[in-house]
């Protein structure tokens, strides 16, 4: 088996590892392996192949990885997930929200949440409310 095939197999394995780990580290080595596969295909010695693998992998780690991680981090901050995505949405009161008794519940998307009145007013069962904030597992709502 030619060395360029071995480098290609190594690159494929490293891409699969990257898919499983998602830290954008293995892909840098995969890029280095692709560079070495090209070098091997062109007939360079094993020493040149290893040197190209090391150089390209280090360059990918130094220049490509930080840019991609910054891009992914910036995108993930813009996306609200889980309970954060509830803020600003409408819900229906499933149990009267009474600020004096510290009781009340709202239903949203098939889930039932403990709720308190944001402005400390009584909100009757069946009314539609807006979710203002969330603290732990308790939603603050207003009419």
- The pLDDT confidence band at residue 77, using thresholds 50, 70 and 90, is low
**Is 44 in contact with 35 (CB distance < 8 Å)?**
no
Identify the H or E element spanning 74: helix 65-78
- Whether 46 has a pLDDT exceeding 90, the answer reads yes
Residue 81 CA to residue 59 CA, distance in Å, equals 34
- The pLDDT confidence band at residue 71, using thresholds 50, 70 and 90, is confident
Q: Write out the residue range of the structural domain in which residue 127 sits.
A: 83-142
Q: What are the helix and strand counts (H, E) for the chain?
A: 4, 5
- The pLDDT confidence band at residue 80, using thresholds 50, 70 and 90, is low
- Whether 76 has a pLDDT exceeding 60, the answer reads no
* 15-19, 53-57, 93-97, 129-133: range with highest mean pLDDT: 53-57
Same domain flag for 88 and 60:
no
- Whether 129 has a pLDDT exceeding 80, the answer reads yes
Whether the model pTM is above 0.75 = no
**Is 11 in contact with 34 (CB distance < 8 Å)?**
yes
Distances (CA, A) of 70 to 25, 28, 67, 75, 77: 14, 16, 5, 9, 11
- Whether 30 has a pLDDT exceeding 90, the answer reads yes
Residue 134's domain is classified under what CATH number?
A: 2.40.50.140
Indicate the number of domains in the chain: 2
- Find the length of the chain: 143
Same domain flag for 72 and 87:
no
Look at residues 43, 62, 78 and tell me which one is the last residue of a structural domain.
78
Residue 6 CA to residue 39 CA, distance in Å, equals 12
Average pLDDT over residues 3-10: 94
Q: What is the CA angle 85-91-96, rounded to 5?
A: 135
Percent of residues, the chain, with pLDDT higher than 90: 52
- Whether 36 has a pLDDT exceeding 90, the answer reads yes
More confident residue, 78 or 17: 17
Q: What is the pLDDT of residue 83?
A: 64
Residue 113 CA to residue 137 CA, distance in Å, equals 7
């Amino acid at each position: 088996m030619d060395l360029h095939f071995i480098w290609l197999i190594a690159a494929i394995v490293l891409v699969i590892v990257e898919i499983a780990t998602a830290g954008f580290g293995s892909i840098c080595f995969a890029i280095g392996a692709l560079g070495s596969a090209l070098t091997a295909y062109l007939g360079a010695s094993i020493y040149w192949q290893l040197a190209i693998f090391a150089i390209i992998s280090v360059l990918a780690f130094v220049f490509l990885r930080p840019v991609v991680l910054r891009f992914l981090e910036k995108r993930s901050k813009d996306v609200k997930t889980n309970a954060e995505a509830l803020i600003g949405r409408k819900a229906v009161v499933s149990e009267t929200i009474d600020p004096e008794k510290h009781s009340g519940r709202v239903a949203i998307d098939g889930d039932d949440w403990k709720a308190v009145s944001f402005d400390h007013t009584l909100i009757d069962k069946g009314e539609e409310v807006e979710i203002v904030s969330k603290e732990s597992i308790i939603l603050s709502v207003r009419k």
